[in-house]
Amino acid sequence: MADPMVVAEGLHRHFGATHALRGLDLSVPAGTVCGVLGPNGAGKTTAVRILATLCRPDAGHARVAGHDVVREADKVRPRIGLAGQYAAVDDMLTGRANLRMFGRLSHLTRRVAHRRADELLDRFGLAEAADRPVGGWSGGMRRRLDLISCLLVRPDVLFLDEPTTGLDPRSRGQIWDHVRELVADGTTVLLTTQHLDEADQLADTVTVIDHGRAIATGTPDELKATIGDRLDVTVADPAALDRAVTVLEALTGAEPAPGDERLSVPVPGGGLRLADVVRALDHAGVAAADVRLRRPTLDEVFLRLTDRKEAVR
């Protein structure tokens, strides 16, 4: 495979006493989507800002599209797009005028900027609203405009910093569809997110960062495999919960996560036969409403890796 489209090595960055990045390594092969996961304050946004030439690392270096983001920032900029956590568009301009302006500022000729703006508005279903000021658009439409504002020059690398934070499920689905289309066109995408299903849906590889460092990298399946499958048991009668806990502890050697009537427990490496579980529960006199073995969710992987008790979503 060709050189990775995005490479970061040992990125350090502090703001005052806060160390946002402490030696972050990252690598995104061309044409893939890399999901960067991390709790708030893990350094996701700082990483994106450095890669998008907005901010300089204190130490370490990074190359995007083959160019150093500090020394050759002007060679990086024409090849990237950045969509951040807000709709970075001019509310007082129409959608079309916004796109034309960003096209001109990306040094397209007037003719090409106008043509590209029209194409993108059509392709991403915003043509109807295109001639109204963006201030009156819905949040979802504004974020979609924000995303397509990056596409006027057909970037090689697209940085999406929490592109769907605060959006309703339908708008989120639309953004996901847009991203999939871009990847099909060959764009490399680096996406930060707190929504783990977003990474599951879109990312080829996931890098989990915490305290400014990458602590795990792999495909979503690989990451899930590192913590093994899980066994979920739903008891029919809450009074039998204690007995069920004892049974599951004996079977797996792990303490089940507490729930009202559903117990969830990691399965040891060797695996576990569902029939054995049912028999053991039956033997202990526990009536099970549901017993299932499943892959862990990315949430569970994430919580395990970042070792935090609070939920991330």
Partner 1 sequence: MTALRWTVSDGLTLVGRELARLRGAPGQIVTLLLFPAVMVLLFGYVFGSAIRVPGGGDYREYLMPGLFAMVTFTAVHGVMVRMAGDASRGVMDRFRSMPTARLAVPFGQTGADALGGLIFVAVMAAAGLAVGWRPHRGLLPTLGAFALIMLLRYALSWAGVHVGLAVGDERAVDNLAPLMLPVTMISNAFVPTDGMPAWLRFVADWNPVSALTAACRQLFGNPGGPAGNGPWPLEHPVTAVLLWSAALLAVFVPLSVRTFLRRGR
Instruction: Give contact residues for partner 1 (rule: CB under 8 A).
Output: 49, 52-56, 74, 77-78, 80-82, 84-94, 97, 101-102, 104-107, 133, 149
Q: In the beta sheet, which residues pair with residue 190?
A: 34, 159
Give the three-class secondary structure for 34.
strand
- Who contacts 19 (Cβ-Cβ below 8 Å, separation ≥6)? 12, 13, 211, 212
Q: How far is the CB of 269 from partner 1 (least distance, A)?
A: 45
Distance CA 47, CA 55 (A): 9
Q: Which is nearer to partner 1, 113 or 216 (CB)?
A: 113
Q: In the beta sheet, which residues pair with residue 115?
A: none
Structure tokens at 11: 């990125």
Q: How far is the CB of 62 from partner 1 (least distance, A)?
A: 14
Q: In the beta sheet, which residues pair with residue 36?
A: 192, 207
Distance CA 4, CA 63 (A): 9
Q: Which is nearer to partner 1, 146 or 200 (CB)?
A: 146
Q: How far is the CB of 174 from partner 1 (least distance, A)?
A: 20
Q: Which is nearer to partner 1, 42 or 248 (CB)?
A: 42
Q: How far is the CB of 87 from partner 1 (least distance, A)?
A: 7
Q: Which is nearer to partner 1, 103 or 228 (CB)?
A: 103
How close are the terminal C-alpha atoms of the chain, in Å? 35
Q: Which is nearer to partner 1, 149 or 188 (CB)?
A: 149
- Who contacts 17 (Cβ-Cβ below 8 Å, separation ≥6)? none
Q: How far is the CB of 102 from partner 1 (least distance, A)?
A: 7
Radius of gyration of the chain (CA): 23
Q: Which amino acid is at 101?
A: M
Q: How far is the CB of 101 from partner 1 (least distance, A)?
A: 5
Structure tokens at 84: 């951040």
Handedness of CA 310, 277, 292, 38 (dihedral sign): positive
> How many CA atoms lie less than 13 Å away from 260 in the CB half-sphere?
0
Q: How far is the CB of 175 from partner 1 (least distance, A)?
A: 16
Q: Which is nearer to partner 1, 149 or 194 (CB)?
A: 149
Q: Which is nearer to partner 1, 78 or 125 (CB)?
A: 78
